[in-house]
Amino acid sequence: MSLETPLLVSRFRTDTPLDRLHDSERRPRARIPIPWSHFDGSRYPKGALEIAAQAHSALATGEYGAVAFFGRLAAAMSLHGAPFDLISAACKVPADEIRHAETVLRLASLSAGVDPTISIDRRRVEARWSGGLSLERLDVLIMEVVAVGETLATALLMGCREHARDPVARAVFASIVADEVHHARLGWYYLGWRAPKWSRPERLRVADRAGRLVADAELAFWRGHDAPRGSKRGARALGVLDSESQRAAVRWVMEDEIVPGLDALGLGASHAWRGRRRGSDRAYEKHRRRGVPVSAD
Ligand SMILES: [Fe+2]
Ligand SMILES: [Fe+2]
């Protein structure tokens, strides 16, 4: 639809739990308290603190970048007349993401002993929107970044939370996971609303992108943050996912959540998963040199 044509909007919502949430969420979600003063860096080896500061700063970079993405996404959804409850859910995400960025940076500063600075690749953030704001583009972006990306991010953060024995790191990851679950659901509910309306060519375009994403997922997340010898336990306690745990989390969420979810939308992901590019250190290095994004943000 051309942007010169006015958008005609009348009040409508989806018939999903988001609709109920839309009514109840005038009360903000209860937040998990974080016992910041309980952090004791002297309990961890230097190598564990260093890798934790690195991993948590990398996570903060993704969280910060997500603020701009979801801000635009909410605007694009409103300009395409998405259901009111979905737009409302999208509007809340940037506030969550900036809170995540700040919380994870604060955690990184405890490990680093100084306030870390993160570098945001603005071109990469902008590139997501270089194809314009068409509804077709919006469908692909929501499938890719919100449904698949946020579901993957939730699984990885759940992995961090499960390993984290440190009370501060554990509370940080628990509080972020509690929000990410809602972000992922927004993506799946949007697709559930859109899928029945897709023409065959529209479905094929989304399926094509979903297939490529699924085929690359194992390789894209092949490498986690591996601590040096003697620091592995400490790093895990601080909520750092090593390569092995990251691969296990990705495999679990792809097979139990993402692939079946995409299949249910008629996007034929099982086929792509069976034929996926198998991970190996060599294949990962090649993949990275090609400049393909390798994070879930
Ligand atoms: Fe987040
Ligand atoms: Fe998120």
What does 122-139 look like in DSSP terms, one character per residue? HHHHHHTTTT-S-HHHHH
pLDDT tens digits along 22-69: 666 655 677 889 999 999 999 999 999 999 999 999 999 999 999 999
Paired tokens of 76: 């694009």
Helices (H), the chain: 17-24, 46-79, 84-112, 122-127, 135-141, 150-163, 167-194, 200-220, 232-237, 243-253, 259-264, 269-274, 281-289
**What is the whole-number distance in angstroms between the Cα of residue 270 and the centre of ligand 2?**
25
Model pTM?
0.90
Measured between alpha carbons, how far is 149 from 147 in angstroms, rounded to an integer?
6
**What is the whole-number distance in angstroms between the Cα of residue 154 and the centre of ligand 2?**
8
Contacts for 191 with CB less than 8 Å, ≥ 6 apart? 139, 142, 143, 147, 265
**What is the whole-number distance in angstroms between the Cα of residue 92 and the centre of ligand 1?**
12
Which residue is associated with the tokens 């940037």? 94
Q: Are 296 and 225 in contact (CB under 8 A)?
A: no
**What is the whole-number distance in angstroms between the Cα of residue 49 and the centre of ligand 2?**
25
Q: Are 227 and 243 in contact (CB under 8 A)?
A: no
pLDDT tens digits along 200-247: 999 999 999 999 999 999 999 999 999 999 999 999 999 999 999 999
**What is the whole-number distance in angstroms between the Cα of residue 233 and the centre of ligand 2?**
27
**Ligand lying closest to the C-alpha of residue 146:** 2
Measured between alpha carbons, how far is 218 from 286 in angstroms, rounded to an integer?
14
